[in-house]
C-alpha cells in the first residue's frame, strides 16, 4: 500500500510520542513537492514523508520541536537558498510555505 | 490537528467518501468539508477542490481534498497482472482483479487485492467504473476481454488498455465495432498496451502498463499506437 502518513502519525501518538504534521500549503516556481505534501516528525526522532526533495526537512523537523512542545502552529516560509549564507532553502529556485501543527 | 478531527478524517477516508480538510492560517482551526458548517464561500471552494482533486487557498483557508483512491480493474489474473500489483499498490490504487477462471483467481496468486470471479459483464455492472477508474484487459481470450472492453467503453474510465498484438487488436476492434462502438470510441483503447519500453518479462510489461496509466492520469503526451 502507499503510505498513509496520517495513519502513521496516529500510531506514533498512540505509542506516546509527541507528533507534528507539516503540510505544504503554497508553492511558487519549481518546488519539488506540490501543495498538500506532508512530512511528519515525532519527539522520538521518527520522520516520514516529504515537503521538498530533502532540502528543508531538517529545518522543518527543528522548527517542529517548539510546536510539539507548546502546541502552537507555525507557518514557515522557505525561499531560494543562498550559498553564501548559512540559510536553509531550495537550491532549485522554488519557494514554498509549510504549515506545522501538532497532532494533539 | 486534534486526534478527534484526525479520527473523523480517517473514518471518512475508510468509507471512501470524498472530503476536504480546511485549515485556517495561521491559527490552525480546522473544518471537514462537506460535513461541517462553513464560512460563506468556503463550502463552495472545498467542493470545487474535491471535484478538481487539487488543493486550493481560499481567503486564509488551505483546502486539502482527500478523494477515494483511484481504482484499477484488471481483467485476467495472469502473470503480468501479478507483476502489476505491488507497483499499483505502491501508487495507491484500489485494485480489483476480475477473472471467472477459478484456477487463476486465487488469493495465493493475488495477495492483498479484491478478487471478483464473475464474468466481466456482471463484474463491470457491479463495479461501475467512473472517471477515477483505469481498466486493463490481459487474458487474450475474447470471451473474457471483449465483454470487459464493451463495458469499459460505455463507462467514463480515464484509462482503457488491452493486451494483445496489433493483429489481435485489429480483430478485436472489428468485433467491438459490430457491438456498435464508433471508431472514436474504440480509439480510447490503448493497444498494444503499455509505454514502449521494449518490455519482455512479465514484470517489465507490468511496469509499462502501470507507467502508461500514470502518464494518462497526469496528462502526459502519449504517442499514437496501433
Q: Which member of A9, A74, A99 has the closest CB to residue B23?
A: A99
Question: Structural domain tally of chain A?
Answer: 1
User: pLDDT in tens for each of the 226 residues of chain B?
Assistant: 999 999 999 999 999 999 999 999 999 999 999 999 999 899 999 999 999 999 999 999 999 999 999 999 999 999 999 999 999 999 999 999 999 999 999 999 999 999 999 999 999 999 999 999 999 999 999 999 999 999 999 999 999 999 999 999 999 999 999 999 999 999 999 999 999 999 999 999 999 999 999 999 999 988 765 4
Domains and CATH numbers, chain B: 3-66 (no CATH), 71-217 (3.40.50.720)
Cβ(B178)–Cβ(B148) under 8 Å?
Answer: no
| B78 contacts: CB under 8 Å, gap ≥ 6 | B104, B138, B139
SS3 letters for chain A? Answer: CCCCHHHHHHHHHHCCCCEEEEEEEEEECCCCCCCCCEEEEECCCCEEECCCCCCCHHHHHHHHHHHHHHCCCEEEEECECCCCCCCCCECCCCEEEEEEEEEC
Cβ separation B23–A9 shorter than 8 A: no
> Least CA distance to A101: which residue of chain B?
B1
**Domain span at A90:** 5-103
- How sure is the predictor about A2, in pLDDT bands with cuts at 50, 70 and 90? low
Structure confidence by residue, pLDDT tens digits, A23-78? 999 998 887 899 999 999 999 999 999 998 888 999 999 999 999 999 999 999 99
Cβ separation B62–A23 shorter than 8 A: yes
Which residues of A make CB contacts under 8 Å with B? Answer: 1-2, 6-7, 9-10, 13, 21, 23, 25-26, 34-36, 73-75, 99, 101-104
> Which pTM value belongs to this model?
0.88
Q: Which member of B10, B28, B92 has the closest CB to residue A2?
A: B92
Give B91→chain A minimum CA distance, Å. Answer: 6
Amino acid at each position: 500500500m502507499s503510505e498513509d502518513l496520517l495513519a502513521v502519525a496516529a500510531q506514533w501518538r498512540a505509542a506516546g510520542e509527541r507528533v507534528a504534521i507539516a503540510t505544504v500549503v503554497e508553492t511558487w516556481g519549481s518546488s519539488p513537492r506540490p501543495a498538500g505534501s506532508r512530512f511528519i516528525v515525532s519527539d522520538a526522532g521518527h520522520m516520514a514523508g516529504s515537503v521538498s526533495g530533502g532540502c528543508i526537512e531538517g529545518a522543518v523537523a527543528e522548527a517542529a520541536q517548539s510546536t510539539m512542545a507548546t502546541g502552537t502552529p507555525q507557518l514557515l516560509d522557505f525561499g531560494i537558498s543562498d550559498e553564501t549564507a548559512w540559510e536553509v532553502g531550495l537550491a532549485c529556485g522554488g519557494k514554498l510555505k509549510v504549515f506545522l501543527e501538532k497532532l494533539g | 490537528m486534534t486526534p478527534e478531527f484526525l479520527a473523523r478524517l480517517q473514518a471518512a477516508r475508510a468509507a471512501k467518501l470524498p472530503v476536504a480538510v480546511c485549515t485556517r492560517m495561521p491559527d490552525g482551526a480546522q473544518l471537514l468539508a462537506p460535513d461541517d458548517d462553513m464560512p460563506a464561500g468556503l463550502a463552495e471552494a472545498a467542493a470545487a477542490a474535491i471535484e478538481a482533486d487539487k488543493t486550493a487557498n481560499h481567503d486564509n483557508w488551505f483546502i486539502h481534498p482527500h478523494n477515494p483512491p483511484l481504482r484499477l480493474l484488471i481483467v485476467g489474473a495472469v502473470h503480468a497482472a501479478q507483476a502489476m500489483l505491488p507497483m499499483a499498490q505502491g501508487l495507491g490504487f484500489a485494485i480489483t482483479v476480475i477473472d471467472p477462471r477459478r484456477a487463476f483467481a486465487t488469493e495465493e496468486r493475488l495477495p492483498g487485492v479484491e478478487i471478483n470471479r464473475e464474468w466481466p459483464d456482471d463484474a463491470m455492472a457491479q463495479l461501475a467504473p467512473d472517471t477515477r477508474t483505469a481498466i486493463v484487459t490481459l487474458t487474450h481470450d475474447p470471451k473474457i476481454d471483449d465483454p470487459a472492453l464493451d463495458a469499459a467503453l460505455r463507462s467514463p474510465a480515464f484509462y482503457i488498455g488491452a493486451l494483445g498484438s496489433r493483429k489481435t487488436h485489429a480483430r478485436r476492434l472489428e468485433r467491438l465495432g459490430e457491438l456498435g462502438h464508433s471508431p472514436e470510441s474504440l480509439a480510447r483503447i490503448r493497444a498494444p498496451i503499455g509505454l514502449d519500453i521494449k518490455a519482455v518479462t512479465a514484470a517489465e510489461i507490468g511496469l509499462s502498463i502501470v507507467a502508461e496509466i500514470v502518464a494518462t492520469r497526469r496528462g502526459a503526451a502519449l504517442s499514437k499506437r496501433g
